[in-house]
Every structure is written in structure tokens, then in C-alpha cells.
Amino acid sequence: MKKSCSLLPAVILLTSCGGSNNPPSPPTPTEPAITACPADGGEEENVYRPLDQQELLAGIMAGKGDEVFHDAFEHGDLIFGTHFTLGQGGGAFIGSNEPSHYTRIPRPDLHAPGEWGDEGRLVMRPTGPNAQSCGSCHSQPVDDGAGPTSANVHRVPRLDHPDLMIQRNTPHVFGLGALQRLAEEMSDQLRAVITQAKEETCAKKTEITQDLTAKGVNFGRVTVSCEDGTAKIVGEKSLLEGVSPDGVVRPYEWKKNVAFLRDFMRHAGNNEIGMQGVELVGKGNDEDHDNKADELSVGDMTAFTIYMAAQPRPVTRVELDDLGILAANKQKLKPEERTQIQRGEKLFGSIGCTACHKAELALDNSWFQEPSASLGHRDKKQDFLKKGQVQVDLEAEGVKPEHPVKFDLAKDQPDNRFCKGSKETLLGAFEKHNGKTVVRLYGDLKRHWMGDGLAERVDELEDPKEYGNGHMSLVNYDPVNAILPPETYAYDENKGRATFGTRELWGVACTGPWLHDGRATTLREAIQWHGGDSEASRQNFAKLAKSEQKDVIAFLGNLVLYVNTAKNGETPDPLSEACNVKDEE
């Protein structure tokens, strides 16, 4: 919902000197000051109350889509920042000999009925609950940011082997909606490649091999043949890389194993803060034994998802400087700093880093909607009520694909709106260029083998069938709608343990420590930990002169997170000092 900007005078009137007969000089134009624009939406509530999904649906049906979006965003913001009490459902029963309702270390040793490690639970918990609010961990350098090592999440992928515990560093949540939209469009493109290959093989009556490429990212190849008029995938000749066999690109978690935000949010609420949504456990069911049922409503989960999806995009120091925000806060870039950033960006590409950390991908359609229009990125109706799946009929509750909550990633984000004279800058929105929406993520939404140095003791993506109910695998390699054989690394146990999704580098300057477990305390260390598919780039960086290495680090230091909290007409907030990258050789 676009609001008018608060305007400042564009000129300063100069008075003439005393006693002079000369006419007064004309006004000298000056650069308008940068200020915060009016915020969208109404007054924000400060007390959490469950949101009724039917209210959201009624607003959409009444043609009030913009109002519904802003209401959902504000409610999601409230959920994110609320410190949930036990009375509201926060936390969970850990065990009979553990009076606390929170634990940073998983407790599979407590496995009596109802306890943390009870394998009979409807919803298995690999971690936590470890915090009262989302903001407790996503706080660096600002709200919705990353987390320090003290906020690392400890996980147990296999209940029968607590010795296989792993850690995950808290990532920032900026720009998440664009990642899902990219994944949706890329998944459609991969399936289109397969469909075209099947049509061609039967038309030409010959075997066809086709590269699996989406938005310039290669996910291997597919070979198809036509026998008796039916096209079939030739598994032994096909090669799948970096994506699951159902062809669905998954943009979330360190292993790139979660397809859509709603799924991520319902499990994050349960695992991290102990707020069990009715979608996970059903209505009236106190599955975490904390004497509270119906902890997050269906409407809450819709709002939570919209809030996350509408987070502002990460930006750069150069962008902030061009707008005048850095100058307004005495942080202006020096000419030599800009030059160093430019040199570093060229070097970053020349040593091969952009093979995985692609500078940008483009969206054909910038509208995010919940639920998704993509079948691979929303809950499947046939899976409702199955164990481990959603326990309510979401469409019956009012989550309808034909009547979604939606917004435009290219103009609707409520945060980071600035005014300069009569011009409004939507810094939080993604840019349009030649009809496409540009997402400068420095990533590829693909999984890669990162080398033995980053190998863990367990692969979270291994087939759960091998280990039984106590195994909390993140991805089943035999999905119902599989269209391809498992990706190549699934056959190699050692590679699987060191395979992670490419981490998007947008905002990287503000998110230390780095890597999946926060082991790298500097960006230089993070580069040096790279191996496997990225070994050549690591070696190329090592061969650079020290001054060139510093240029690369300066370029990474240009990629920042920024949220303005200043009120309408005020000077925008400065960039957090926590985004100042240290380069220790």
C-alpha cells in the first residue's frame, strides 16, 4: 500500500549582503536529505492472540487483498518477536527428571512415554525447544538476522545414536520469499525439460539425453527412451546433481531440504520455541505434554509465512552510500573503498566462486503467494492426516490455492522505504530489469559436495528406511512422485556427509561466524574450509597476492543486511558496526 513521502525543502534561500545594490543571488539547489517514509499498515498489536484463517479468507474474498497482506505481515511480526510463556504453549515437556521446558542439547536419553525421545510421538523433535522467541536467535546484527555460535542449534538426526549430534548456525531470514519463488520457477523448468525430452524421444524414435538446466544452473542430465510408444527415464544413464529425485528445488535449510516456507515455519515453531501448530498435531492435541493445546492456529501459520516471505532483501554498502544513508550517518565510503570493492568483485568471479555463488538469478513472476501455486511447494491434500504430515485439511480451514494471500516482491515489502525529495526508494523490494525481477543472491539453490574437511558424522539426507522410526531424516530418497533416480552423492556415504546447499552470500558481511556450524570466525577462514566441488576456487584464492585477497574480502564485506527503524521523516538508522568485516591473515 503506497503512502506519500514526507518532503523536505529542496532549496535554501540566501539573503543579500547589507548595503549592496546588487540583486540577490538565485537560490542554490541542494541535495534533498534522505528520510524514512511513512510505514505501511496500521498500529501493531503488542499481545499475541491466535489469528483465524477464515478472517484472512473473508478479506481476500471481499477484494481486500492488500489489507489482508499487511495484516498478515504485522501478525507474523508479532509472532516472531513474542517471548512465548508456558501458559501460551511455549517450551515442551522434556522428561520426568528434567523440570525445565527448554533444552539446548537434545535429550534422546529421556525416552519414556511423553518424554523428549519418545519414538511414539506424532511429531519427532530433532532439537530444542531452546528459546522463547524467534528473535532470541535471529538477532545479529538486527532483528531477523543471523545468530552467534552461542545460538547454534544442536540436532540429533538419529534418536538411537546421540553420539551423532550435529550443530547448525542460525542464518538470517532476509529475502526468503524470493528464494521460494526462484525454486518454484526452477522446478517448473526442470520438469519441462523432462517432458520435452519424453515427447522428442517418441517423436524421433531414438534415445534422448538432455541437460537438466534451470535459470542457468545445471542439475545433471536425463536420458529417456521410447518403448512401445511409452517414454521412460533410463536411470542408469541419467545423472542427477544437487536436487532431490522428485525434481523439486528446495531453497531452505543448510542441506537445501525444505521446499516451502510454511513447512519450514511450522517445524521451526515446534522445534525451536515449542509452539506446536495445529497443523502438526491436530486440534485439541497436547502432543508436547506442556498442558497447552492449539498453540499456533492455521491463520497464525499463514501470517508467520507471509511475514518471513516479505522480509526485505539484503543490500550493499554501495547502495546505501548512493542513497546517502551512509553519508547521513558519517559512514560514507571513500573512493578507494569503492574501487577495492569493484576489484574484489572481478576477482571473485575470475577465481571461480561464481560457479556456485551466482551473482543473480531472475524471476519471471515476482508475485509470492501462500499457499503456493506450485504443487511441489505446498502441502499435498492426499497427505493430510498421515503420520508426520499435516494433521488438518488446510483447504477446509481456508488455506485455498485459488484464494491466496499474496504480494509483489518487487514493490510491496513494508520495510526499508526511503524518501528523497519527491522520490520514494523501495530499498526492501527486489529490482525490476527488462521485465524480470532480479534476485542478487550469490547462490544457485543447489547442493554440492564440500570436501572431507566439512564432513559430518552423519548425513541428514540419508534414507530413513534403513534406520526405522527413530531416524529423523530430512529428505526421503524414495518420494511418492519421484521422477529421477537419487542424486549421485546419495550413493557415496562419505560425500553425503559433506554435501550442503550453496549458502547465499547476500548479507554475508553481517552474519559471522560462518559455515553450517559457525566454525569459521572470519570470511578468510570460511574460504579456506572450502573443498570438494569448490577446491579449485579455494586454491585460486590462495594463489592470489595478499592485496588481491584483501580485495575479495572487501567485496564480501560490501554484502550487508540493513533494516531501518527510524520513524517517518527521520534520518535513517546507520549500518550496524557488526557488519564491519575483520580480515585476519
Residue 31 covered by a domain? no
pLDDT in tens, 465-504: 544 444 444 444 334 445 666 666 655 767 888 999 999 9
pLDDT in tens, 86-133: 999 999 999 999 999 999 999 999 999 999 999 888 888 889 999 999
- Assess whether 142 and 216 both reside in one domain: no
- Assess whether 189 and 169 both reside in one domain: no
- pLDDT value, residue 422: 86
C-alpha cell of 230?
511409452
- Assess whether 209 and 274 both reside in one domain: no
- pLDDT value, residue 159: 85
**Cβ proximity of 368 and 378 under 8 Å:** no
Range of the domain at 217: 177-240
Residue 265 covered by a domain? yes
- Assess whether 445 and 543 both reside in one domain: yes
Residue 320 covered by a domain? yes
**Cβ proximity of 205 and 344 under 8 Å:** no
Establish whether the linkage from the previous residue to 141 is cis, with ω within 30° of 0. yes
**Cβ proximity of 222 and 236 under 8 Å:** no
- Assess whether 345 and 198 both reside in one domain: no
Among 197, 212, 240, the domain-final residue is 240
- pLDDT value, residue 116: 94
Residue 314 has a CB neighbour count (10 Å cut-off) of 25
- Assess whether 227 and 321 both reside in one domain: no
Among 211, 240, 269, the domain-final residue is 240
- pLDDT value, residue 554: 98
Residue 475 covered by a domain? yes
- Assess whether 226 and 365 both reside in one domain: no
- Output phi, psi for 309, to 5 deg: -65, -30
In degrees to the nearest 10, what's the CA dihedral of 341, 343, 344, 350?
A: 150
- pLDDT value, residue 64: 98
Among 240, 262, 284, the domain-final residue is 240
Cβ neighbours of residue 48 closer than 8 Å, sequence gap 6 or more: 78, 79, 82, 84, 88
- Assess whether 124 and 89 both reside in one domain: yes
- pLDDT value, residue 158: 83
- Assess whether 437 and 477 both reside in one domain: yes
C-alpha cell of 413?
515489502
Sites in the chain below the pLDDT cut of 70: 1-30, 40-45, 463-491, 493, 585
Q: Could you give the angle at which helices 298-309 and 65-81 cross, rounded to 10 degrees?
A: 90
Residue 205 covered by a domain? yes
- Assess whether 424 and 275 both reside in one domain: yes
Nearest-5° Cα angle at 70, 65 to 73: 125
- Assess whether 227 and 133 both reside in one domain: no
Tell me the pairing of strands 166-168 and 153-155: antiparallel
Q: Is the entire prediction scored with pTM above 0.85?
A: yes
DSSP H or E run through 199: helix 176-204
Residue 54 covered by a domain? no
Residue 60 covered by a domain? no
- Assess whether 293 and 326 both reside in one domain: yes
Residue 517 covered by a domain? yes
Number of domains in the chain: 2
In degrees to the nearest 10, what's the CA dihedral of 442, 582, 543, 316?
A: 30
